[in-house]
């Protein structure tokens, strides 16, 4: 049944039931709604309305003698059409901003601090995915001799990210050879993403002549220059916040859930996978219960948003039980994503 077909009473009862359940974690009875929300309806009328909502699949009754709780479908309709976004307090905005602008220029530090701040304010688990360095377009490559057997390679991509690698070469390199190779590499590689460069470097430099030892270090896609450019980097903070949630009273279930989050590849794919149905008007994505692909997250919700470093995107998210304060978390995640983008844009050259 389409949500638009619900009448005003059914919408109000559903909204009040979810608001109360999110706040208390207790199944909600008709008497609670009648006395707490001042709808001007009798308990019997509300009870009949709740039965209709249950028949439509928006709420369920966990036990015969208990009140009702929202289903995933009920939460989805609540998020899409009922909730009233809550603004962040000045203190909450300040905490997020301070975590970003007091953490230095390192992306790792910025994301680590912002994830902690988000987890602390939301009292849920905070997650950030760093931008994939291999998605950045190379704008400049520098070769800097350090001593007789070491050279520094600096890769700068369009987003402002910089990657520095110290290479050990077997013999001293004349400055002229270093500058010539630097010029050739910039001519052939700039404008490509680092991922493209790593995949095609052998063919692109096949006819290049120059210092054989140094050139080999660039041609080899497994060398230290390219090592880790495609790695997934996640910050997962706040598992302790889930300990007090009744949904995680089963410690074995919590341990299994946390172990799932420790699998960076699986979690990254889960956060990046979106069918579009959960995207709000502000760009925040909400995935509820069965909308998640990982079996271990079927009882959880994920509220996420993208931030940008130039043209490269990363993700920030809050993960917790489906019974979460969506009205506040949507505003919080949106603000955090925008603040991260601003913080990274303010840094002239960021270290990956």
CATH number at residue 55: 1.10.10.10
Q: Are residues 157 and 209 in the same domain?
A: yes
Q: Tell whether 224 is covered by a domain.
A: no
* Structural element, H or E, at residue 167: strand 161-168
Q: Are residues 201 and 138 in the same domain?
A: yes
**Pick from 167, 173, 177, 168: nearest CA to 208:** 177
- Of 310 and 190, the structure prediction assigns the larger pLDDT to 190
Q: Are residues 128 and 242 in the same domain?
A: yes
pLDDT at 346 over 90: no
Token reading at 19: 């608001």
d(CA 49, CA 56): 11
Q: Is 162 helix (H, G, I), strand (E, B) or coil?
A: strand
**Maximum mean pLDDT: which of 73-77, 101-105, 125-129, 271-275:** 73-77
Q: Are residues 121 and 262 in the same domain?
A: yes
**Pick from 204, 255, 266: nearest CA to 232:** 266
The per-residue pLDDT for 72 is: 96
Q: Are residues 152 and 176 in the same domain?
A: yes
Q: Tell whether 76 is covered by a domain.
A: yes
Q: Are residues 286 and 271 in the same domain?
A: yes
Token reading at 243: 């300990």
Q: Are residues 44 and 61 in the same domain?
A: yes
Q: Tell whether 227 is covered by a domain.
A: no
* DSSP secondary structure letter of residue 80: I
**DSSP of 267-319, one letter per residue?**
HHHHHH---STTB-TTS-EEEEGGGSSSGGGTTEEEEEEEEEETTEEEEEEEE
Mean pLDDT value across the chain: 83
| CATH code, domain carrying 236 | 3.30.450.40
Q: Are residues 120 and 241 in the same domain?
A: yes
Domain extent at residue 285: 90-132+232-351
Q: Tell whether 194 is covered by a domain.
A: yes
Q: Tell whether 53 is covered by a domain.
A: yes
Question: Do residues 180 and 210 make contact, with C-beta atoms less than 8 angstroms apart?
Answer: yes
Q: Are residues 49 and 172 in the same domain?
A: no
d(CA 125, CA 188): 44
Among the candidates 186, 219, 252, a domain finishes at 219
Q: Tell whether 225 is covered by a domain.
A: no
| Strand residues in 9-160 grouped as ranges (E) | 59-60, 69-70, 125-129, 138-147, 150-157
Q: Are residues 18 and 118 in the same domain?
A: no
d(CA 328, CA 310): 28
The per-residue pLDDT for 70 is: 96
* Structural element, H or E, at residue 182: helix 175-189
Q: Tell whether 309 is covered by a domain.
A: yes
**Pick from 304, 328, 329, 306: nearest CA to 317:** 304
Among the candidates 219, 240, 264, a domain finishes at 219
pLDDT band at 319 (very low <50, low <70, confident <90, very high): very high
Task: Give φ, ψ of 317 to 5 degrees.
Answer: -150, 160
Q: Are residues 112 and 138 in the same domain?
A: no
d(CA 255, CA 341): 33
Q: Tell whether 67 is covered by a domain.
A: yes
pLDDT tens track for 154-185: 888 776 667 777 777 665 667 787 888 888 88
Q: CB 43: neighbour CB atoms within 10 A?
A: 14
Among the candidates 219, 240, 260, a domain finishes at 219
Total structural domains in the chain? Answer: 3
| CATH code, domain carrying 190 | 3.30.390.60
Q: Are residues 205 and 280 in the same domain?
A: no
- Of 2 and 220, the structure prediction assigns the larger pLDDT to 220
């Amino acid at each position: 049944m389409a949500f638009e077909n619900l009448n005003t009473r059914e919408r109000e009862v559903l909204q009040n039931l979810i608001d109360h359940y999110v706040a208390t974690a207790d199944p909600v009875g008709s008497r609670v709604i009648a006395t707490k929300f001042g709808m001007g309806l009798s308990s019997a009328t509300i009870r009949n309305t709740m039965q209709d909502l249950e028949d439509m699949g928006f709420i369920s009754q966990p036990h015969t003698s208990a009140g009702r709780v929202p289903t995933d479908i009920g939460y989805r309709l609540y998020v899409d059409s009922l909730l009233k976004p809550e603004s962040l307090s000045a203190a909450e905005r300040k905490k997020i901003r301070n975590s970003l602008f007091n953490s230095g220029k390192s992306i790792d530090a910025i994301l680590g601090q912002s994830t902690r701040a988000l987890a602390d304010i939301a009292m849920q688990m905070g997650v950030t995915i760093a931008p994939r360095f291999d998605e950045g377009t190379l704008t400049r490559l520098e070769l800097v001799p350090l001593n007789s057997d070491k050279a520094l390679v600096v890769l700068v991509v369009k987003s402002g990210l910089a990657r520095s690698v110290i290479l050990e070469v077997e013999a001293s390199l004349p400055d002229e050879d270093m500058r010539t190779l630097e010029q050739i590499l910039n001519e052939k590689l700039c404008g490509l993403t680092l991922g493209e460069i790593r995949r095609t470097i052998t063919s692109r430099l096949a006819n290049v002549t120059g210092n054989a030892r140094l050139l080999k270090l660039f041609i080899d896609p497994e060398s230290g220059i390219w090592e880790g450019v495609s790695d997934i980097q996640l910050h997962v903070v706040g598992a302790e916040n889930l300990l007090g949630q009744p949904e995680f009273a089963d410690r074995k279930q919590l341990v299994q859930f946390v172990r799932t989050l420790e699998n960076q590849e699986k979690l990254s794919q889960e956060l990046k996978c979106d069918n579009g149905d959960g995207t709000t008007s502000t760009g925040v994505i909400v995935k509820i219960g069965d909308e998640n692909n990982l079996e271990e997250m079927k009882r959880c919700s994920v509220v996420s948003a993208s931030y940008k470093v130039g043209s490269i995107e990363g993700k920030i998210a809050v993960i917790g039980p489906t019974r979460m304060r969506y009205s506040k978390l949507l505003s919080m995640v949106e603000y955090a994503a925008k603040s991260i983008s601003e913080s990274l844009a303010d840094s002239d050259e960021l270290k990956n």
